Structure 1
Amino acid sequence: MSGCGCAEVVTPGLLDLFDARGRMVAAARPVDGIETVALGEAYRRVLAEDLLATLDMPGVDNSAMDGYALRLAELGPEGLPVALRVPAGAGVLELPEGGCARIFTGAPLPLGADAVVPQERVTLDAEGRMHVEGDVAEGANIRRCGEETRRGALLLPAGARLDAAAIALLASHGVGEVKVLQRLTVALISTGDELIEPGTRRAPGQVYDSNRAMLSALMAQSGCEVLDLGVIADTTLDLHQAFARARDEADLVVCTGGVSVGEEDHVRPVIERLGGIAFHGVGIKPGKPFALGYLGESLHTGTPLIALPGNPVASLVGWQFLGLPFVQVRQGRQAAPLQQFPVAAGFSRRGPKGRRELLRVVLDWSAGAPVAHLAGGQGSHMLSAASQAHGYLVIDANKNVEKGHAYGYCPTAQFLD
């Protein structure tokens, strides 16, 4: 078995990952504000009200394909003359007795017709009469009026997030604008005297701040407005001013670093002075220092706060598994269930002590069924493996990884909210 061989300290009182996730979802409350936006600006917004169908859809019986509309009772070996041509957008016509209609996809079905034959199954004789190969069933290739939706039926419920298909559905019913919940404003704070902005000259001991860049992208991906408060110095005054501003200007505060219990971890005392901590410490590796807190009187009346670890991979894991479902509920939608299915490990490894470990892995499909391999170094500071990983292999506490055994696998694609 491979492993870093580092001694691990088992911290008592850590929340189980799934318990912590449940607490995050239960603690979240949707934002209150509502605004009206044009449908073209509504992508990834959350509906504030139920939307009902304004039309029967389809509005009339119509053809599902290019072909010929006919009365089955009139179809015989002598064929049928083509009496009508019905393109899409035409009015509803009446099918003459003893004749058929050349019809195109989406065109209204002529009155009296009871089937449409695909053009691939039709031949025309020298006299232009239509002959059909094979049997035809009554109602074949007809889209019935209202078979998709009826006027007044629920199109989309409040809390639905508008993707491209949902916007197309609304557009098909003539909806031009929608009421949506206001975007969630998230104040983002990085702490650490060692942090500097990417693009600046680095002195010995300094570290480029990757967490803010990563979390800004993740929040934008989730449809949040980001209030970037930058890197805040590790002083009580600077932290107090930053958190007070975040409390007043944002719907949610996300900070990274400084929330542990070391001598140089100054964030937690400031949070407790301005609000409180709902819970701190989750039994996952990486991501143990995760905390949920608030700025104000309480978690539900104040501004909620998510404190992520300073190590970037731990911060990423904390956001994906715990922060994201909180944000989803805060946005007025349902938290997406965690997708997990068994995948065989292609390696052996010493298991974690006292915590679940979320190993960054890639999947090898060359043998037909997926096999998980480590994406690279598993340190909580190692972003290269996280950037390449297809997902996480979830290893229970105090369990070794055995090559060929199956473990729960969580694809990272589910976090692309």
Structure 2
Amino acid sequence: MARLSQKPGHYLQRDQYATRAETMNALFERWNLAPDTELLPLNQAEGRVSAGDIYSRNTLPVCRAAAGDGVAVRFADFEKGMPDFSNWKENIDYAPADMGDDFDDAFDTVLWIEEFTFDENGKILAIEPEEPVTKGQLVRQQGATLKKEEQVLKKGDVITPFRLGLLAAAGIEEVEVIRQPRIAYIPTGSELIPPGQTPARGQNMESNSLMISAFCRRWGSEAECMPIVADQKAWLETALNKALETADIVLLNGGSSMGTEDYTSTLLEKRAGYFQHGVRCIPGIPVAVAVVDGKPVINLPGPPYAAFCALDWCVRALVYHWYGLPLPKRRTVRALLEQSIQKPEPHEMYVRMVLKEDGEKGFTAAPMPMEVRFAQAADRWNGLFIAPIGRGKWEAGCEIDVELLYTDC
């Protein structure tokens, strides 16, 4: 069994910690990835990932069409200047041609409707083009929008609302997409009770499931929250086995550190073909990652922010890897640091930032200390600064690149 972590029975040996990059590379190499596909109608395909190249079945316009609301005319009538239109008759000398409409082949040019003046009986009183008339103006030729057999989607493309419209125009009614990965989440801890109950002494609310499942769905996966499992080795293993039967990725929350009832990481080490306990990223150093039965199993730390950090760098990357897509980068802004940041080496650190924008000074960024209470921190921070390995301090007044949290794909 391949192991890149501590010896059995030992916890969190610092000399065996891995970086985030090392951990993800090891997971990707060992994951028996085999995503299948499903066929969906267009009205259910938004946000999904195309499983193959798609080509248009239609040519649009079928023949040719007006490119604006106008009047179709013969260019030959205007070639030597303004014609005598006093006796022109509709559908003989000219024809209505609204945006997208076909018109009689006798006409080859369209003028804007606003350039015509009609009386109450529809007789032309004046034609006043703003520009010289050119042959074929305001005419969209056959295939100008789409051509049959033209590629409209590539394998791996995310189906956006605009692409849905393109697919419909191309005559596509159903699209083959990569199936969403199934993520099973197992909350662990004898002290936990589900939302809706009132905690008594010695109890705590199981609240991470809502955050974790919401992020998983946002990134394009199905998420199933399983019942709370008490700190009993046999019960934990039963829950893990059940999750592995149907899920592509399994998440456990809690039991990853060094407490007397932190059994989860020990269980994973026993079952894993690959096991890593301890990652050089703060908060969430005790995260444990494993490959069990060919599937990634991630033991997230219990504190909400630490759980988020592990979700962000590990689970999000797994979901995008499932689709064969690169992990998208968040938009960053350059900001003036208001207070200094210090971190231990050799670790990365996720720093919550409160970004503010001043029209004249640009962005300022205030780091949120780790000790800020959850109730105060939950919705105040709007940016991330991921302090890299190799530097321990950033002084107040320096400029840093801050990721905008709420623009993530």
Separation in structure 2 between the aligned mates of residue 27 and residue 143 of structure 1, nearest angstrom: 53
Q: Which runs of 5+ in 1 are unaligned?
A: 1-8, 86-95, 297-301
Q: Which moved more, 1:144-153 or 1:123-132?
A: 123-132
Where do residues 9-408 of structure 1 align in structure 2 (5 Å cutoff)?
11-21=14-24, 30-75=33-78, 76-78=81-83, 80=85, 83-84=89-90, 99-108=93-102, 110-111=104-105, 113-123=107-117, 127-296=124-293, 302-330=294-322, 332-354=323-345, 355-368=347-360, 370-374=362-366, 376-379=368-371, 382=374, 384-397=376-389, 398-408=391-401
3-state SS, counterpart of residue 51 of structure 2: coil
Relative to the length of structure 2, the TM-score reads: 0.83
3-state SS, counterpart of residue 293 of structure 1: strand
Q: Deviations over 1:313-352 (max 9, x none)?
A: 111122122211211222x341333235341134122321
The answer to whether the 8 A contact 1:65-1:106 is kept is yes
Post-superposition offset of 1:14: 3.8
Match of 1:91 in 2: none
Distance 1:147 1:26, change over 3 A: farther
3-state SS, counterpart of residue 388 of structure 1: coil
The answer to whether the 8 A contact 2:343-2:392 is kept is yes
The answer to whether the 8 A contact 2:265-2:277 is kept is no
Percent identical pairs in the alignment equals 25
Distance 1:263 1:381, change over 3 A: farther
Relative to the length of structure 1, the TM-score reads: 0.81
Q: Deviations over 1:32-52 (max 9, x none)?
A: 433333332333333333221
Q: 1:410 aligns with which of 384, 403, 406?
A: 403
Separation in structure 1 between the aligned mates of residue 133 and residue 281 of structure 2, nearest angstrom: 62
Separation in structure 2 between the aligned mates of residue 344 and residue 10 of structure 1, nearest angstrom: 36
3-state SS, counterpart of residue 44 of structure 1: coil
Q: Which moved more, 1:111-120 or 1:161-170?
A: 111-120
Distance 1:346 1:361, change over 3 A: same
Separation in structure 1 between the aligned mates of residue 359 and residue 247 of structure 2, nearest angstrom: 49
CA RMSD of superposed structures (Å): 3.1
**Letter paired with 2:165:** A
Count of aligned positions: 390
Separation in structure 1 between the aligned mates of residue 326 and residue 378 of structure 2, nearest angstrom: 23
Separation in structure 2 between the aligned mates of residue 267 and residue 103 of structure 1, nearest angstrom: 71
3-state SS, counterpart of residue 235 of structure 2: helix
Distance 1:117 1:247, change over 3 A: same
The answer to whether the 8 A contact 1:191-1:256 is kept is yes
3-state SS, counterpart of residue 160 of structure 1: coil
The answer to whether the 8 A contact 1:46-1:159 is kept is yes
Post-superposition offset of 1:127: 4.6
Post-superposition offset of 1:220: 2.6
Post-superposition offset of 1:277: 3.6
Post-superposition offset of 1:22: 5.2
3-state SS, counterpart of residue 288 of structure 1: coil
Distance 1:58 1:289, change over 3 A: farther
Post-superposition offset of 1:78: 4.3
Q: Which runs of 5+ in 2 are unaligned?
A: 1-11
